[in-house]
Structure 1
Amino acid sequence: MTKILNIVEYNKASLGNRFLNNLLDLFTLIILNIIITSISDILYAFTDIEFFYLYGNGGIGWQILFGNINCFIYYFSMEHFMNGRTVGKYITGTKVISTDGTQPTSQQIIYRNLTRLIPFDGLSFFGVNGWHDSWSDTRVINIKNYITEIQAKSEIDGLGKKEIA
């Protein structure tokens, strides 16, 4: 059974922040896709390799496939290598952490991002937590509030202890 800290639950990001994160990350993904498509078109012009043509000009099936691959790579690389944060999370002051208050493992981030590929994952937030949070045992928290509460608890725990100068 997974340990869930109350401090993590109390400092979850608001649905408004989560929605804004989603919009900002979607905008970032659109910009990245435009750049990749342009590069792909240029490479196709020089090499005549069919893959580069399909990336920018394939049918809806190819667009869904490449879109999901790009989405997975973006979220995984950002959340794994940028300390649980994406572009949207940097702007809104939020980050992903495990429910036990630690940095998420690579496995948790993989689960989190594979779950995002489920078509109705976005609607799962009408419940308590979204699927990609619940199934990966992660939460998106407001960093400022979380750190403030951690410091307050640390100061309370330190009351009455003798200081050594």
Structure 2
Amino acid sequence: MKRILNVVEYNKASLWIRLANNFIDLIILYIINYLFSSISNFLYQVTSIEFFYFYSNGNIFWQLFIGNFNYCLYYFLMENYTDGRSISKYITGTKVISTDGTKPTAKQIFYRSLSRLVPFDGLSFFGNNGWHDSWSQTRVVNIKNYESEIQAKREIEAIGAKEFV
């Protein structure tokens, strides 16, 4: 079990920032899904391959599967390959870190992405931490506040240390 640093807990993003992140990312996901559906319709008309038809015109179960797959893939790729940030996190100045203050592993990001599929995950934020944060041992922090507090702690620890010239 990882340690939970106080500096991480003190600099968690607020509930309103998290809500804004969710809203912005959902809009982006709707745009991505619309583009994929339009491309699939075009490819079906050109090639008559059934997969492209089902991508945008399949039954409700197929649409749920594709929607959830795209949802997980978006969050995994964005948070894993852009240093813990999705598009909304760039806009709001937040990022995902491990509870011990390190960069989250791919495994943590994968668990975090899958945990978002649990029904009512969004309501879990009315508690202390959301489920996808707790289960993956990650937190979303305000970058400026977090990094300035880390820098201040380093400067305090450096007081009295010998400097070599």
Unaligned runs of 5+ in 2: none
Secondary structure of the structure 1 residue equivalent to 2:101: coil
1:1-150 equivalence runs, <5 A: 1-150=1-150
Per-residue deviation, 1:58: 1.4
**Structure 1: segments with no counterpart, 5+ residues:** none
Could you tell me how far apart the structure 1 residues matched to 2:137 and 2:128 are? 13
| Number of equivalent positions | 165
Secondary structure of residue in 2 paired with 1:96: strand
Please give the per-residue CA displacement for 1:23-61, whole angstroms capped at 9, x wherever unaligned. 010011011111111110111011111111111111221
Task: Give me the whole-angstrom Cα distance separating, in 1, the residues matched to 2:119 and 2:50.
Answer: 29
SS in 1 for 2:24: helix
- Taking the aligned partners of 1:94 and 1:85, their CA distance within structure 2 comes to 7
TM-score normalised to the size of structure 2?
0.97
Partner amino acid, structure 1, of 2:67? G
Identical aligned residues as a percent:
64
Residue identity opposite 1:129 in structure 2: N
Tell me by how many angstroms 1:121 deviates: 0.5
Q: Give the counterpart letter for 2:30 in structure 1.
A: I
Taking only aligned residues, the RMSD between alpha carbons, in angstroms, comes to: 0.8
CA distance in 1, matches of 2:160, 2:102: 28
SS at 1:97 equivalent: strand
Query: TM-score when scaled to structure 1?
Result: 0.97
SS of residue paired to 1:103 = coil
- Output the CA distance in 1 between the equivalents of 2:164 and 2:21: 44
- Whole-angstrom distance in 2 between the partners of 1:119 and 1:60: 17
Supply the distance in 2 between the matched residues of 1:108 and 1:9 (Cα, whole angstroms). 18
CA distance in 2, matches of 1:112, 1:65: 18
The 10-residue stretch of structure 1 (1-10 or 130-139) with the greater mean CA deviation from structure 2 = 1-10
Residue 140 of structure 2 aligns to a residue whose secondary structure is strand
